[in-house]
Amino acid sequence: MMIDDALSLMGDSFFADKNKVFEIGAGKGIFYRVLVKERKMWGCEGSGDREYDLNEINEEHRGDLEELVGSCRDKHKVMMGDFFDVIQEKEGRLM
């Protein structure tokens, strides 16, 4: 899996040391599922201000992503649309 490759290159603590993840092209949430649900490296309960944003352009994946995020919706967001439009809206500015 790609996440295993990333962890072997960067080390297990790489994601644990971050306060925010912005995942572009989240698809059906495989990366999120492994990182958050299976390996429990990025939870939402008791994790302070840690955020995880999933960006996906294909509307057909919305339901899968929203279900996956579930009770973590306060800190983990599903953002549908083209990355450049989403980031402009998130940052509150025009590029």
Residues lower than pLDDT 70 in the chain: 1, 12, 45-49, 93-95
pLDDT digits (tens, 9 = 90+) for 62-79: 999 999 999 888 889 999
**What is d(CA 65, CA 41) in angstroms, rounded to the nearest whole number?**
18
As a three-state string, the secondary structure of 41-89 is CCCCCCCCCCEEEEEECCHHHHHHHHHHHHHHCCCEEEEECCHHHHHHH
